[in-house]
Amino acid sequence: MNTSSEITDQCEICCEESKKLYQCCQSKKCSLCENCWSKIILSAIEKGQISSLFSGTLMCQSCHQPIERNELPQDIQPQLDNILLTIPKTKNPKSIEEFNYAYRDSQHLRHCITNEKFIFLSQRHYNLLGSCIDTYIQSLMKNNEWNYRELWLPIKEDNTDDHHDQVNIFTSNDFETNENGCLILIQGSGVVRPGQWARSCCINESLDIGTMFPYMAKAKEHNLSVIILNPNQTSYIVEKSVDIDDTLPTNTEMNVTNEQKSHEVKDNQTENHPDEMLIDYYLSTRPLPCSTKEKIPNLSTSREHVLYVYDNIISKSPAKKFYIVAHSAGGDGLMYLLRKRQDKILSTLSKIAFTDSVHSILPFEPNEIKNFLKTNAIHFVASDKPMGESIDRAYDFSQGSICEEVSAGHPKHEYTSGHCVEGVFKFFFPSDNNICTTKF
């Protein structure tokens, strides 16, 4: 890329005259002003394609040649340098600060230097950051503000610090003593872990939208204990590798080509690499090396998880009433629980709130379950209508909805739980006059 001398020329995009144009080749078709180059870079960022500039694969739309990052206008370079600072200096980051990100106002993820929002580089970079966010959120749940207890399942007779073959869930510190009521939170499928509704919202929006914290706070207001399930983590790592994503199917893990295997050997070498090698590692489009995993006994599926937690933990709670919020695939796990433990759970179950949930009524569903759902359940669905407004949706086979359906107040699935919290608790407690509340 060449820079012209102090002459006035015309930018090929905006047609404005400029004393300094920047080219990605010898053709004047690619001569652009600094402002237009800034817009091109901004567009690449917004489309999640900025990593292609760093890897030398972002093409000029005029000459179809790679744009050389180092030849871009100097005023753009600091912005690009700050983006590269979000690449950790290790292949095994443990904290979000290693990505130069932080929840500085306790709610929004921001760049530690520029205070800008998260910028997507690659799925690999995103997944590793997401894992650190999992750790951060759970550390908040265990700190002095919440003081939640971490329980490991399946339950073992001997106390141990080795939990590699177990899955964690969380309870409020009054779970074993609170007789007033208990709130049960069940997230959907995917990479989310206890305390989260949606990882993408925790990264791109706020913790208020992406986490369960607002529900935990509302539970305090209504003197409810809380238990948070973890139905997605159904396996444990036998042979550890860099890949910490627990959602890849087994057949995908086993179908590794020779080329992928050679990449894995390179990826698992010592971490003391030059910066360029780390940049290549985090910008790679290859999936992370797959760990060897085995299923957790008695919790090998999300349905098994929900049933095990009910039988071994929830059923022992002294709470007189239970309230459940089930998001997405969490609704399927809840329906499975109702079918398997109908005689035990319905007598103490007060209300259910589904949030853009995956659930259905089977042809042979007991009338007790159907009648309970009709009168004591509500479904907040993704919609651009105001939160709480009635929704009339078409169903296959003229089956109809199993309960009242209203708008969650947002059209995107992953945002629903975060936007309908007020509606959920209004449904749970139409009037607070009969509710014993405690100030904290």
State pLDDT tens for residues 140-193.
999 988 999 999 999 998 888 889 899 999 999 999 999 999 999 999 999 999
Closest Cα partner for 196 from 417, 410, 428?
Answer: 417
Q: Which residues of the chain have pLDDT under 50?
A: 1-5, 242-259, 261-262, 264-274, 397-398, 434-440
Q: Is 324 helix (H, G, I), strand (E, B) or coil?
A: strand
Tokens coding 273: 């690499």
Contact 161, 150 (CB under 8 A): no
Q: Which fold, 146-234+298-434? A: Rossmann fold (3.40.50)
- Residue of 199, 180, 229 whose CA lies nearest to 334: 229
What's the pLDDT score for residue 396? 55
pTM (predicted TM-score): 0.85
pLDDT for the residue 241 = 59
Give the closest residue to 283 by CA, choosing from 83, 121, 50: 121
Domain coordinates in residue numbering, the chain: 9-79, 146-234+298-434
Tell me the one-letter amino acid at 274.
P
Q: Which of 144, 153, 134, 152 is nearest to 212 (CA)?
A: 134
Q: What is the dihedral of CA 327, 332, 333, 339, to 10 degrees?
A: 130
The stretches of 151-211 forming alpha helices (DSSP H) are 199-204, 207-210
Under 8 Å between Cβ of 208 and 107: yes
How many angstroms separate the CA atoms of 427 and 335, rounded? 19
Phi/psi region, residue 108 (left: phi>0; alpha: psi -120 to 50; beta: rest), is: beta
* Three-class SS state of 20: coil
The length of the chain in residues reads 440
d(CA 79, CA 54): 13
Pairing of strands 149-153, 167-171: antiparallel
101-103 and 17-18 strand pairing: unpaired
The pLDDT assigned to 438 comes to 37
Other CB atoms within a 10 A radius of the CB of residue 106 amount to: 12
Cα–Cα dist 415/418, whole Å: 6
Please tell me the distance from the alpha carbon of residue 79 to that of residue 81, in angstroms, as a whole number. Answer: 5
Residue 315: per-residue pLDDT: 97
Cα gap 115→119, rounded to integer Å: 12
Q: How far is CA 66 from the centre of its chain?
A: 34
- Helix segments in 17-122, DSSP class H: 34-46, 51-54, 77-84
Q: How far is Cα 67 from Cα 80, in angstroms, rounded to an integer?
A: 14
**Which amino acid is located at 43 in the chain?**
S
